[in-house]
Amino acid sequence: MSDQREPSVVSGKSFTAVAINCAAKAGEWIKTKLGNYNRLDTKYSSHDLVTEVDKGSEQLIKKLVLTHFPHHSFLGEEGVEPGPEASAQALADKSEAEYLWIVDPIDGTTNFVHGFPFFVVSIALAYKGEVIVGVVYDPMKDELFLAEKGKGAYVSGKRMQVSKEETLSSSLIATGFPADHLYALPLNLKGIQALAPQVRNLRSSGSAALHMAYVAAGRLTGFWEIGLNSWDLAAGSLLVQESGGIVTDTQGKSYHLGVRNVAASNGLMHEPFLKALAVAEATE
């Protein structure tokens, strides 16, 4: 087996092996529940959905992680009250953790609920606040995106690289339509209005983690969105960085776990990308 494939080899009780195992197990289980679950609740607003499957997936992952690493800390979307303040507080509460697992058990819940086949499991491990392992698993395509700090990023065992577009006009860019209709959605819509005529085209799959993985894989040139949470971005941020791309907030500051307004790209068009958002006053 070539060196390039090594990081996806599962062995022993390594952090990466556990992350992969959790994502694969949760993803397979989620897939069996597609169109086959009982409870649908809303969280922050009628646009913010959660199902028993989100909760079950998080329990499965948490149990597995803590079985292997009982002294590690765990931050999962379903363990946090809805809303930006609670998210920020939950992250602050874990700021002293040496090893912190940051998990979105289903990123793209609205898609899952509607049977629109774009949703992923996102699992990151941070060491002293820095992401060192990131896994995003898409069970519908059976694609596993993996990055280890300093060791590159891989999709299903194949090394990933960001795309090569250097201009906005040649870029395919993704964004989202945030559930928060008071603050995040209007800002994002401003960015959309400004960027749509300037780029090759825009896409919106409904899963931030999948967009980050696709930037890493060179399938998208860039991605931005206002009002995301640490669990949407932690794994994807390492995927993009280890594939040669850049992750900042929408104002250009380096990525850290607290970033909510994200801009990720191949790096080559990051400057005009951020500039277009700034000119549109769509950054915060």
Catalytic residues, which ones?
77, 104, 106-107, 109, 232
CA distance 260 to 251: 11
Reference 248, options 237, 231, 262, 228; nearest CA is 262
Which of 56, 58, 104, 122 touches Ca ion (CB under 5 A)?
A: 104
DSSP per residue over 2-26, as a string? -GGGGGG---TT-HHHHHHHHHHHH
Q: Give the nearer residue to ligand 2AM in terms of CB position, either 77 or 165.
A: 77
State the nearest-atom distance from the C-beta of 18 to ligand 2AM, in Å. Answer: 21
Q: Residue 125's beta-bridge partner residues?
A: 101, 133
Measured from the CB atom, is 106 or 172 closer to ligand 2AM? 106
Residue 107, annotated as binding a ligand: yes
Residue 138 or 232: which CB sits closer to ligand 2AM? 232
Q: Note the residues at the interface with ligand 2AM (CB under 6 A).
A: 44, 48, 77, 104, 107-109, 176-180, 206-208, 225, 227-229, 232
CB 226 within 8 A of CB 126: no
158 membership: H or E segment, kind and range? strand 158-159
Which residues ranging from 58 to 77 are in contact with Ca ion (CB under 5 A)?
Answer: 77
Quote the CA–CA distance of 58 and 40 in Å, as a whole number: 16
DSSP H helix total and E strand total for the chain = 8, 14
Nearer to Ca ion, 121 or 268 (CB): 121
76 contact, one of ligand 2AM, Ca ion, none, CB 5-8 Å limit per kind: none
Minimum Å distance from CB 260 to Ca ion? 15
Which residues of the chain form contacts with Ca ion (CB under 5 A)? 77, 104, 106
